[in-house]
Amino acid sequence: MTNKIPKWLLYCRPGFEKECAQETNALQLEAQSDSGFILVQGKPHLQFDQLIFARQLISWHGEISDLPQRDRLTPLLQALSNLVNAPKKFGALWLETPDTNDGKTLSSFTQRFQPLLEAPLIANGMLVNDPALPRLHIFFTNQNRALIGSSIPQNSAPWHMGILRQKMPHDAPSRSYLKLAEAFAILLNADEQKKWIVPGMSAVDLGAAPGGWTWQLVQHGLKVTAIDNGPLKSVAEKHPAIKHLRQDGFRYRPNKPVNWLVCDMVEQPGRVATLIADWVASGLTQHAMFNLKLPMKKRLDALTQALHEIQTVLGAKGIRYRLKAKHLYHDREEVTVFLTVK
Question: For residue 183, what are the CA distances in angstroms to 47, 162, 164, 289?
Answer: 19, 14, 10, 8
Q: Cα(270)–Cα(309) distance, rounded to whole angstroms? A: 7
Give the sheet arrangement for strand 334-341, strand by strand: 242-245, 223-227, 202-206, 258-263, 285-293, 334-341, 321-326
Rounded (5°) CA angle 308-310-311: 60
Q: Cα(336)–Cα(342) distance, rounded to whole angstroms? A: 20
Out of 293, 297, 317, 324, the active site residue is 293
- Phi and psi at 326, nearest 5°, equal -150, 135
Residues 218, 242: contact at Cβ < 8 Å? yes
First to last CA, the chain: 46
- Phi and psi at 52, nearest 5°, equal -90, -45
To the query of whether residue 326 is one of the catalytic residues in this protein, the response is: no
Catalytic residue numbers read 293
